[in-house]
Amino acid sequence: MKNTSKNKNPIDFSPASGSEAIQARRGHLGFLFFFGNSPDLAKIEAERVAARLLPFLKYDSMITRQVAWFKSTELEKREKRDKGDKREEELKTKLNVLSNVQNVLGGTVKIAEIIGSVRSLNYLENELMQNLSQTSKHKINLAISNYSSGKVYVKSTLINLKNRLKTKNISCRFVLAKEADILSTAEIFHNKLDIWPNVEFNIVPMDGEFLIARTISVQNLNDWSKRDFGIPAPDAQSGMLPPKLARMMLNLRNRETIYDPFCGNGRVLLEAAYLGLDFIGSDIDQVKVESTKKNLRWLRDQYQLKITNEEIEKRIFVADAKTWNIESGILNIDTTFDIRHSRFQIVTEPDLGPALHYLPRISQAETIASNLLDLYFKSINNLITKTTSGVFVIPAWKTQEGHIIRLSDKILDKLNDSRYHLNKLGEYARPNSFIIREIYQINN
């Protein structure tokens, strides 16, 4: 699979005069993960991905509603026996790994390395200057995002830093957030503030201090936009699962072979293929099956994936999720990958009901939920076995009266005292959406 991450120069860790305190702390405090609109779901995703791909990091705590601290426990242990260049080289490697993991995560908008802290914002400018003095470059972009409730005079601080850098023959262009004091993902991405020697400093409150964290990676908006809006066979009528949510759901998996029994236009399968996972998909609608195949061929060509037209034809097929038997049905699929004895992870978004153009009344939402109950109940009964587990989207509806009608409540009532275990992982809702997508992990 083609590496879609942006090329980045390694960060210069060479100590500068007066910066020993910062250098002594580097890598010890850890890293901050900044989440998007679904922080609860993004936190679980980041924890599970870190457990698989980042053995040197461990989730510690939520600092704010959307910022999580992952502590570098391994680096702290090594400090006692490794010094100097060896330890700094290891830290460089881990920064590169984290940058690549950014491309795996769907709910984490950026990752930042904690480089220091101050007890008072009065000392912020000097601390930032100590860090900036390490650069040997002569031209940089510079920004500050303030996540604290404390007053940071961002513009005046940036002007002062610019003037101080000028005395060191460093030309500085500063970037100001259009809204409040926090830069958007787009502002970071388009100004390349995650690529050295450019800098975005994040000021985050914790335990009476202010952490200073330097952005090392940010979501590649061009790449996400291409897979969101560039597919040749969209399905606006049925609504489309957002790619970032599909990615988060896949990262919640506990098995490596993915099956989407409601593949629609293939959102889940596209992200599974992008991640290099084994997958199969089906839908009761032949037109949707063909749309998925078309979109998979497009994805393969865009990212030079190693999957043939023949494999796509065999992996995507027509089936009714309420009745198709996985264990016997899979034996009839002649695939080129070893799937027959796999334990499946079902990742899917079933039917969400009719498209809504206004907030429904409670009675209307109740009717929609009741009409979908049979589909969800029978599909769960049929698909979740001792050899499968599932990550499902289950819809809920906002109403004119201000209440939320949740299909999950009806499913839980009907599955009461059954063999199934439903665990809600989080919610996803775009701004101004009438539907809330609840994400459930379902096991037998």
Please report whether residue 9 resides in a domain.
no
Co-location of 287 and 432 in the same domain: yes
8 A C-beta contact, residue 283 and residue 262: yes
Co-location of 265 and 309 in the same domain: yes
Co-location of 127 and 57 in the same domain: yes
Please report whether residue 13 resides in a domain.
no
Structure letter (DSSP) for residue 275: T
Co-location of 251 and 174 in the same domain: no
Q: Which of 219, 241, 261 is the last residue of a domain?
A: 219
* pTM for the full predicted model: 0.88
Q: Which of 197, 219, 241 is the last residue of a domain?
A: 219
95 vs 89: CA distance, rounded Å? 10
Say which amino acid occupies 246: A
Please report whether residue 10 resides in a domain.
no
Co-location of 188 and 288 in the same domain: no
8 A C-beta contact, residue 396 and residue 407: yes
Q: Which of 170, 188, 219 is the last residue of a domain?
A: 219
The first and second tokens of residue 359, run together, are 């907030």
Please report whether residue 12 resides in a domain.
no
Task: Spell out the SS3 assignment of 116-151.
Answer: EEECCHHHHHHHHHHHHCCCCCCEEEEEEEECCCCC
209 vs 114: CA distance, rounded Å? 13
**Domains identified in the chain, total number:** 2
Please report whether residue 6 resides in a domain.
no
What is the block-wise mean pLDDT of the chain (444 residues), using blocks of 10 residues?
34 28 48 96 97 92 96 60 59 85 97 94 93 83 92 89 93 92 96 94 94 97 96 83 97 91 97 95 96 98 95 93 75 50 84 94 98 96 88 98 97 82 93 94 92
Structure letter (DSSP) for residue 113: E
134 vs 88: CA distance, rounded Å? 14
> Which H or E run includes 33?
strand 31-35
Co-location of 242 and 381 in the same domain: yes
| pLDDT value for 35 | 98
Tokens 């570098």 sit on residue = 72
Distance of CA 18 to the CA centre of its chain: 37
257 vs 295: CA distance, rounded Å? 20
| pLDDT value for 1 | 35
8 A C-beta contact, residue 54 and residue 120: no
| pLDDT value for 8 | 33
8 A C-beta contact, residue 39 and residue 45: no
| pLDDT value for 434 | 94
> Which H or E run includes 195?
none
251 vs 187: CA distance, rounded Å? 26
Co-location of 209 and 191 in the same domain: yes
β-partners of residue 214 are 113, 201
β-partners of residue 422 are 442
Co-location of 198 and 282 in the same domain: no
Co-location of 157 and 104 in the same domain: yes
| pLDDT value for 86 | 63
8 A C-beta contact, residue 254 and residue 347: no
**DSSP letters spanning 367-396:** HHHHHHHHHHHHHHHHH--TTEEEEEEEEE
Q: Where would I find the H helices in 151-217? A: 154-166, 185-190
8 A C-beta contact, residue 118 and residue 203: no
Tokens 């749309």 sit on residue = 291
Please report whether residue 433 resides in a domain.
yes
Co-location of 314 and 410 in the same domain: yes
Co-location of 319 and 192 in the same domain: no
Tokens 């299909």 sit on residue = 407
CATH no. for residue 414?
3.40.50.150
443 vs 228: CA distance, rounded Å? 30
Structure letter (DSSP) for residue 416: T
| pLDDT value for 7 | 34
The first and second tokens of residue 149, run together, are 């409730």
| CA-wise closest residue to 180 among 132, 137, 226, 147 | 147
Please report whether residue 14 resides in a domain.
no
Please report whether residue 113 resides in a domain.
yes
229 vs 405: CA distance, rounded Å? 30
CATH no. for residue 126?
3.30.2130.30
Co-location of 163 and 248 in the same domain: no
> Which H or E run includes 324?
none
The first and second tokens of residue 200, run together, are 């975005």
| CA-wise closest residue to 425 among 316, 347, 311 | 347
Residues 6+ apart with CB under 8 A from 82: 90
83 vs 77: CA distance, rounded Å? 12
Domain hosting 412: range is 225-443
